[in-house]
Amino acid sequence: MTDQLGTSRRTRHAVVIGGSIAGLLAARVLAEHAERVTIVERDRFPGGPEPRAGVPQGRHLHVLIAGGQHALERLLPGVIEELREQGAPKVGMPRDMVQWQGGSWYRRTEATAYLYTGSRPLLEQLIRRRVLADPRIATVEGTEATGLAGDAVRVRGVLVRERGAGKDQEPHTLAADLVVDASGRGSRAPQWLAAIGAEPPAEERLDTGLAYATRVYRSGPARDGADFVGQYIVPNPDQTYGGVVLPVEGGRYLVTLSGLRGEEPPTDEDAFEKFADRLPHPVLRDWLATAVPESAVHGFRQTANVRRRYDRPGRRPAGFLATGDALCTFNPIYGQGMSVAAISAVALLDALADRRRTPTTHRVQRALFDASRQAWDISAGADKKMPGAEGDAVRMRAADRPAAWYLRRVQERAPGDPVVGAAFRSALSLAEPLTALFAPPVLRAVLFDPVREAPAEPPLWREGT
């Protein structure tokens, strides 16, 4: 059985299922290797930066972390500057943020990592405009994929029909040499593969039951001249409530509150603000007291970490790949999803361009899996410690215990030690591998130095001001 994607001769037609960020960026890469690329999207794309039904978390907070910025800039040079020009705020960590994590407030020393906190619809619109300007890329909107054409040896297209036409309408085949599933966390590709006689992937799942709710605000006057840009209160096993305040374009702020299973934040407007009383300090509640709400409260509960193991051997067809949330989805509270979509597209780019190796389906799929591995290790690694976590990925192996011990010492020192804090941020932002936490200066501080003093109260002012 051949496993080759078809790049020894030029691929004639590639189809991408899903027009979100992962799908758009995959199409951008495939356009360099196919005569034409078609994106199949259930929604109709909005004309501007507006939320759409196919991105149910689109009204909630999204951040573009450093690893995603670097990847996106490689794929679409100049897009980060364009994002800034459209008003997406750039937030320096830890300088601009009042941050509580692991039971401690972080010192507000000079920034060593930056987030872009523009809204998800804004970033998606910028990417969509750039990608769809390529004449090799077309879209079929208002159309849903219902299955795969082909067999267990090779996928030869996608079964599609008009969205809303009902099950009475027979789907037709959109022929393709390569199909990429970027349909998101609700992907039905495992069932589609089984339907053509192939083997669906094993799944790993870890679910804390975390739910969150978000509302748009305008900021009130700064308290006592405080100069912070945002707040970030991170839940942990001992304190399971979270809260985030971050700016988006247009002078607005998104406020997100979170809780675990059975303690979900309400979508009732008055109860939403009262829920902030559960946080470990009233600093976020104080901010809300002078802020002006500008939207309803929107909730979201699909936050499980799910990884589909297409990288493992199995009876699966050539010509089919999965990427983005269809491959690996993370608890959104860690802000990794958009960045992993971009990092995965770079992995696809490199795998297809590697002249030393034939780009087989398994090899390319493995590259996509590897692109999401660090984010999974961070997200699932943190979530498996949370009370009530469920799923087959919860169990901690004996081999994980030394790393967990070391990481606990990193987290204890990150709030007060700028060297450890910088390494911790570089790993969490996917800008550096986790091995950055073992660089000699960090290793010495983690193993031999005492825990440095961190602020006893929320640091409302930058150090040195």
CATH of the domain at 146: 3.50.50.60
Specify if 415 maps to a domain: yes
158's CB contacts (< 8 A; 6+ apart) are 15, 17, 40, 145, 147, 148, 149, 173, 174, 176, 179
> 323 and 228, same structural domain?
no
Specify if 368 maps to a domain: yes
> 50 and 198, same structural domain?
yes
pLDDT in tens, 427-463: 999 999 999 999 999 999 999 999 999 999 999 999 9
What CA–CA distance (Å, rounded) separates 79 from 99? Answer: 28
What does the pLDDT read at residue 455? 96
Cβ atoms of residues 147 and 171 within 8 Å: yes
Nearest-CA neighbor of 108 among 121, 129, 93? 93
Specify if 343 maps to a domain: yes
> Residue 279 sits in which domain range?
210-300
> 162 and 50, same structural domain?
yes
Which of 260, 284, 300 terminates a domain? The answer is 300
> 227 and 136, same structural domain?
no
What does the pLDDT read at residue 2? 41
What CA–CA distance (Å, rounded) separates 106 from 92? Answer: 13
Largest CA distance in the chain: 70
Which of 381, 415, 436 terminates a domain? The answer is 381
> 333 and 278, same structural domain?
no
Left if phi > 0, otherwise alpha if psi is -120 to 50, otherwise beta: which for 225? left
Q: Kindly give the pairing relationship between strand 34-40 and strand 137-140.
A: parallel
Specify if 465 maps to a domain: no
Query: Edge-to-edge strands of the sheet including 172-175?
Result: 143-150, 155-162, 172-175
What does the pLDDT read at residue 53? 83
What CA–CA distance (Å, rounded) separates 389 from 453? Answer: 32
> 16 and 47, same structural domain?
yes
What CA–CA distance (Å, rounded) separates 446 from 439? Answer: 10
> 345 and 406, same structural domain?
no
CATH of the domain at 251: 3.30.70.2450
What does the pLDDT read at residue 400? 82
122's CB contacts (< 8 A; 6+ apart) are 49, 83, 86, 87, 88, 248, 249
Torsion angle in degrees (nearest 10) through CA of 428, 431, 436, 437? -10
> 363 and 320, same structural domain?
yes
Scanning the structure block, which residue is given the tokens 């970490």? Answer: 305
Specify if 98 maps to a domain: no
Cβ atoms of residues 307 and 165 within 8 Å: no
- Quickly count: other Cβ atoms within 10 Å of residue 220's Cβ: 13
Which of 300, 316, 350 terminates a domain? The answer is 300
> 279 and 250, same structural domain?
yes
Specify if 118 maps to a domain: no
Specify if 166 maps to a domain: yes
What CA–CA distance (Å, rounded) separates 19 from 139? Answer: 8
| C-alpha distances out from residue 372 to 68, 311, 366, Å | 12, 12, 10
What CA–CA distance (Å, rounded) separates 229 from 429? Answer: 19
Scanning the structure block, which residue is given the tokens 């469920």? Answer: 390
What CA–CA distance (Å, rounded) separates 34 from 177? Answer: 9
What CA–CA distance (Å, rounded) separates 442 from 449? Answer: 10
> 140 and 37, same structural domain?
yes
| The one-letter amino acid at 247 | P
What does the pLDDT read at residue 5? 66
What does the pLDDT read at residue 169? 83
> 136 and 25, same structural domain?
yes
Angle between helices 418-428 and 440-448 (to 10 degrees): 120
pLDDT tens digits in sequence order for the chain, 465 residues long:
245 664 445 679 999 999 999 999 999 999 999 999 999 999 999 998 988 888 878 899 999 999 999 999 999 999 999 999 999 999 999 999 999 999 999 999 999 999 999 999 999 999 999 999 999 999 999 999 999 999 999 999 999 999 887 777 899 999 999 999 999 999 999 999 999 999 999 999 999 999 999 999 999 987 777 899 999 999 999 999 999 999 999 999 999 999 999 999 999 999 999 999 999 999 999 999 999 999 999 999 999 999 999 999 999 999 999 999 999 999 999 999 999 999 999 999 999 998 888 889 999 999 999 999 999 999 999 999 999 999 999 988 887 889 999 999 999 999 999 999 999 999 999 999 999 999 999 999 999 999 999 999 999 999 976
Scanning the structure block, which residue is given the tokens 């599933």? Answer: 181
Q: Which residues of 366-399 are buried (b: 16+ CB within 10 A; e: fewer)?
A: bbbbebbebbbebbbbbbbebeebebebbeeeee
Q: How many domains does the chain have?
A: 3
| The one-letter amino acid at 6 | G
> 56 and 188, same structural domain?
yes
Specify if 112 maps to a domain: no
